[in-house]
């Protein structure tokens, strides 16, 4: 297979998996709700006051507690696992085609060199 074909397939698969295995999970609940107003654009002018009366910057607040993070990661892992197990099932693939129509509207993915360096200990870069 030509490198351009591999890149095209990988891009489509990455967007599809991001949409159905990550986006449509508990992350939607975290995305829902009221977004605070910021005049600086970086939320440095937004503060939180907790139940103990502590006031701290929005950027210093944890937006997920440990239970929420654990639940979200379990859901994502379960969906990725299911995706891999069912990827060759024709009925499952028919449904994926409908989701792919939406996912293909997203920006094209880029190689994440920082991620790659973290995983490989800085030893490798993907050819471009």
CB 82 within 8 A of CB 20: no
Share of the chain above pLDDT 70, in %: 95
Average pLDDT of the chain to the nearest whole number: 89
Query: Per residue in 67-106, pLDDT tens?
Result: 999 999 999 999 999 999 999 999 998 888 888 888 999 9
Both structure tokens of 110: 């880029």
pLDDT value for 59: 86
CA distances from 34 to 4, 31, 102, 107 (A): 42, 9, 25, 26
């Amino acid at each position: 297979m030509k490198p351009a074909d591999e890149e095209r397939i990988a891009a489509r698969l990455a967007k599809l998996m991001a949409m159905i295995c990550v986006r449509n999970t508990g992350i939607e609940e975290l995305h829902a709700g009221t977004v605070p107003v910021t005049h600086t654009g970086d939320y440095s002018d937004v503060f939180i006051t907790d139940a103990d009366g502590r006031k701290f910057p929005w950027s210093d607040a944890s937006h997920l507690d440990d239970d929420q993070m654990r639940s979200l990661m379990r859901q994502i892992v379960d969906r990725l696992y299911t995706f891999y197990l069912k990827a060759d099932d024709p009925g499952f693939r028919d449904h994926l085609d409908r989701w792919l129509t939406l996912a293909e509207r997203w920006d094209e993915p880029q190689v994440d060199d920082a991620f790659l360096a973290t995983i490989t200990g800085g030893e490798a870069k993907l050819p471009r």
